Amino acid sequence: MPEGNVFLLDVEPSRGRVRIVDFGGGRYGFQDPDAVHLYQRPDGSVFTVQNPFVGNMFATQRVTYEPDLGHLADSLGNRVPIGALRMPGGGSVVDYKTVQAVWQPLGVDPRSFTPGANQEIVERVVFQDAQGRMMTLNLSYGEGEKYDRSKTAEKWRYFASKAAGEDEDPGEGKRKETRELQKQVVIREFLVKTIRPRAATVTGG
């Protein structure tokens, strides 16, 4: 959506579904097959957007694993490659009232990257639960802070255990080992989140 347009209302609300779009060359996008949004341009004219695109960080929650088909699928039953759930190479931008959150894949070892004052390293993990639903966990290491796995290990285990169906207090000797919980992981990737004014120019990575 071009910058400067203002969202007005949902002509048709989302039903929580998603449809994959194959752009070719290993590039994918996701659309909401139901929603219709009304926007206003800076000149005051009004227009509608049907089936708006949905960022893959949000679309992931609407993708499920279909055991009868043996693969991930969108709401219409179309196959979804695992790679389609990853952050696109060009990144993603989320607009707020006065700022933008710019998400970019981190192409280096997170231990070697030092984020700026307005940046943070985010470890994005997508788990699959017993019902085939996707659960996304974003582990932040703090603005301007370096990667430190010890800060998030407990939270990772909690969500992995939840995806695996483990009781919150399984009892002594009954907790699943980390290598078992790793089986619930569909995707693990590192991103850099940058907060900047909305007027700033955003370039892809």
For residue 60, give the 3-state DSSP assignment.
Answer: helix
Highest mean pLDDT among 97-101, 151-155, 196-200: 151-155
Q: Are 28 and 20 in contact (CB under 8 A)?
A: yes
Higher pLDDT, 88 or 64: 64
Mean per-residue pLDDT for 102-126? 95
How far CA 53 is from CA of 45, 68, 128, 159, in Å, comes to 21, 28, 23, 28
Percentages helix, strand, coil for the chain (3-state, rounded to 5) are 15, 40, 45
Which of 89-93, 121-125, 133-137 bottoms out in mean pLDDT, i.e. has the lowest? 89-93
> Model confidence at 204, in pLDDT bands (50, 70, 90)?
very low
Taking the C-alpha atoms of residue 58 and residue 151, their distance in angstroms, rounded to an integer, is 25
Say if residue 181's pLDDT is above 90: yes
Share of the chain above pLDDT 90, in %: 71
Confidence of residue 89 (pLDDT cuts 50, 70, 90): confident
Q: Looking at residues 50-55, what average pLDDT do you find?
A: 92
